[in-house]
Amino acid sequence: MEQVAAYLDWNDSIKALNTAYESGLFVLIIGPKGTGKTSLVRDFAKSKNVNLESINFSLRTRESHLIGTKTLNEGTVSFDEGLLTRSMREGSMLYLDEINAAEADVLLRLDEALDDRRQITLKESTGEVVKAREDWFVVATINPLTHSGTKELPPQLLSRFPVRIRLEYPPEGTELEIVRRHVSGQESEIIQAIKLANTLRQAAAVEELFYSPSLRETIAFGKLLEEGMCAREAAMFVFGNVYTQWGSVEYQKVSDIITSMFGN
């Protein structure tokens, strides 16, 4: 199994999470894909020594995933509690990933649990009211609206998360430090790859390109080098080839940038 690299808290997000946690305020993390949102929350839960319950929202996520489902077992009906119900009862940390991908009915149910009373009525079961434990803590993430498939989070749900942390791409030096937590060696080539990634990110930000590489890519590049691949080839595999998806003009543009940075 892959060893998990230690999280580098480069913009004091852990401190902000800690303060929110101590004040019982829920947190929203906003940032593009692959900027360390999930790693940050995992690291924080570990530091608090609490159990982390995670759900990744999509259009297929149903209320029952959150609340629970009735099951029939040898003639008796019982209720299998969902993630939300369980975490409220146990006072664990709840991680709602990409919450803006959820359907309206799911969001409505979440809203019920997240308001100031912090309770839900199990109307699909006995009608019991489940009140969250005092230490229940919730962190949600959303991707910026530019990402395809994302919707705007309704304002009243947004207001349930009054502490908002921005997690953007780190400065180049910081990114290098992060990549070095995952791979060793080849520093000068990794610096080049981070420069390349930032060039592509800037082009994507002004919609000159369709795709913005994340930290996942710069780490992957380092891993290929570690296995002995040459830098140019690794750059094509990790950064270049993906643009074929948007046609040969887009691909050629990036391919030329890679050649100018890594040679032929």
Computed over its alpha carbons, how large is the radius of gyration of the chain?
22
- Provide the mask over 155-184, with x wherever binding to ligand ATP is found by CB under 6 A and - wherever it is not: -----------------------x--x---
Integer Cα distance of 167 and 55 in angstroms: 20
- Partner from ligand ATP, Mg ion, none contacting 197, C-beta within 5 to 8 A by type: none
The DSSP bridge pattern shows strands 27-30 and 52-56 to be: unpaired
Tell me the closest approach of the beta carbon of residue 44 to ligand ATP, in angstroms.
12
Percent of the chain that is helix, strand, coil (3-state, to 5): 50, 15, 35
- Partner from Mg ion, ligand ATP, none contacting 219, C-beta within 5 to 8 A by type: ligand ATP
DSSP 111-176: HHHHSTT-EEE-TTTT-PEEEPPTT-EEEEEE--TTSTT--PPPHHHHTT--EEEE--PPPHHHHH
Q: Does 39 bind ligand ATP (CB under 6 A)?
A: yes
Binders of Mg ion in range 34-93 (CB under 5 A)? 37-38
C-alpha distances out from residue 13 to 53, 93, 172, 200, 251, Å: 20, 16, 18, 26, 36
Integer Cα distance of 254 and 261 in angstroms: 11
- Partner from ligand ATP, Mg ion, none contacting 5, C-beta within 5 to 8 A by type: ligand ATP
Q: Would you say 13 or 125 has its CB closer to ligand ATP?
A: 13
Q: Does 215 bind ligand ATP (CB under 6 A)?
A: yes
Q: Does 37 bind ligand ATP (CB under 6 A)?
A: yes
The one-letter amino acid at 35: T
Tell me the closest approach of the beta carbon of residue 78 to ligand ATP, in angstroms.
34
- Partner from Mg ion, ligand ATP, none contacting 36, C-beta within 5 to 8 A by type: ligand ATP
Binders of Mg ion in range 95-134 (CB under 5 A)? none
Query: Which one of 29-37, 107-115, 199-207, 236-244 is the stretch in contact with Mg ion (CB under 5 A)?
Result: 29-37
Q: Would you say 35 or 186 has its CB closer to ligand ATP?
A: 35
